[in-house]
Amino acid sequence: METDISTLAEAVAQLQASAAATNTIFAETYYFLSIPLMVLIHAGFLAYEMGASRSKNALASGIKNILAFAMIVPFFYFIGWWIYWAFPTGLSGSEGAMGISGIGYATEVAAPWSAFMGPNLDDKSSGVFFGAFVLFAATTASILSGALIERIRLTGFVVLAIVLGAFVWILAAAWGWHADGWLVTQWGYHDFGAAGVVHMIAGFFTLGVLLNLGPRVGKFNPDGSANQIAGHSMPMTLIGLMLIIAGFWGFLMACVIVPGEAWSWSTTMGATIYGTPMTLSGMTFNTIMGFAGGIIGAWMVTRDPFWMMSGALGGIISCAAGLDVWYPPMAFAIGFIGASAMPFVASFLERRGIDDAVGAFAVHGFLGMWGLLAVGIAAQGYPALAGEDVVTTSFLGQLVGAVTMGLLGFVPGYVVSLILKVTGQLRVPPEVEILGLDAVKVPSRAYPEGINASVSPAE
């Protein structure tokens, strides 16, 4: 009898070990797959920005996107990932209540020489988490990139992209997208889908740069009225925007903490990065509803295919902060309202002499802010952290978060771009801009045989 019990216990232990191993492989695979999906975001930005550029600038627009992505990766490896774990409680680097932050903790798990930052077989998650976060960092640079096309120096842009992707946004994430983050623990800040810590940061950083960069040659007339500078391929731009939407599924799935691992908040349920419960079902309902609401809202107010597809992205961003809590029709309404307002924000900037070539501030900066405030309006009282007697969300907390994100994005963007401007590293000379960046900066041509206009049979 004792032998039978012992055999049964061994079998149960083996089953438990097998189940744990299976769950670990699933968890690793889940985050691993989020990475190539997020790469689709960058394929989308590549097509989107090249299509929005005139043919004489198409390759230059693509090159700066690709190079910025590549440059961010090593900077994020050596310093950015460490910043996320070191400074959630503030710039002092003290340890937070959850025990997963502070300079000491960061040095243990995220310093370049740490065993967690290499192929350590005992730690199966650090690499895929790092991969997901570095793709978030690269996304902020891509958001910046589109607004600056056709006149930014490559060297200046790379510097700005590194500052934004490897330093600024990850500090915002430490403050508002970490269970020890001071915005979360003190103000109840809630931002499940990174509307503030990615989109708003990048949008306001971009606004600061635009003020120093200035408009493209020919954008504005002497009386201040604006001219439309159309890109060479609207179809390419629309396809790019749809690829960004596809990649957004990887972006959002990487915002989920899957259950059952040592680093998970729960063994039975998915959770947000704050430890609060969420489901993939709810995220799916709300993402699709926000997507649809954004398309319809933007189309109704503009009838413009560019803004229609930008509205799809804007609708998701509008409801991203609360994707884990919205009732699906609420996500539709929030996406609809945000995308309906988006073109008017772009026009407001244009009337003030700001040339945002693709409406990046309106889509990301403004709608990221709207998404944060929508949580404060419609989700007050929701627990901001896991556990009992925890801080809850409020309009004031979301407002404090929005102001923080705005300043943390805008000030570095303005200051760094001003330094680049003073040193002559921000903008190409006017004669280069008029000739086209491809002709001067790129040893190749996007269309060697030219772009042929339609020719009638009689011709």
Q: What is the DSSP string of 284-334?
A: HHHHHHHHHHHHHHHHHHH--HHHHHHHHHHHHHHHHTTTTT--HHHHHHH
**Interval 423-441: pLDDT, tens:** 999 999 999 999 999 988 8
Lowest-confidence segment of 177-191, 261-275, 340-354 by average pLDDT? 261-275
* Domain at 25-221+233-441: CATH code: 1.10.3430.10
**Interval 82-99: pLDDT, tens:** 999 999 999 888 998 888
Segments making up each domain of the chain, as ranges: 25-221+233-441
Q: Which of 251, 253, 122 is nearest to 198 (CA)?
A: 251
Please give the average per-residue pLDDT across 133-162, as a whole number: 94
Label residue 451 by pLDDT band (50, 70, 90): low
For the chain, the straight-line distance linking the first and the last C-alpha, in angstroms and rounded, comes to 97
Q: H-type helices in 95-233, by residue range?
A: 103-110, 126-147, 154-163, 169-176, 182-187, 201-213
Provide the 3-class DSSP secondary structure of residue 205.
Answer: helix
Q: What value does the mean pLDDT of the chain take?
A: 89
User: What's the pLDDT at 96?
Assistant: 87
**Interval 188-232: pLDDT, tens:** 999 999 999 999 999 999 999 999 999 999 999 999 899 999 999
Q: Are 362 and 356 in contact (CB under 8 A)?
A: yes
Q: Which residues of 210-240 are buried (b: 16+ CB within 10 A; e: fewer)?
A: bbbbbbbeebbeeeeeeeebebbbeebbbbb
pTM of the model: 0.92
User: What's the pLDDT at 453?
Assistant: 44
Q: Are 147 and 356 in contact (CB under 8 A)?
A: yes
Has residue 458 got a pLDDT over 60? Answer: no
**Interval 232-253: pLDDT, tens:** 999 999 999 999 999 988 888 8
Please give the average per-residue pLDDT across 363-380, as a whole number: 96
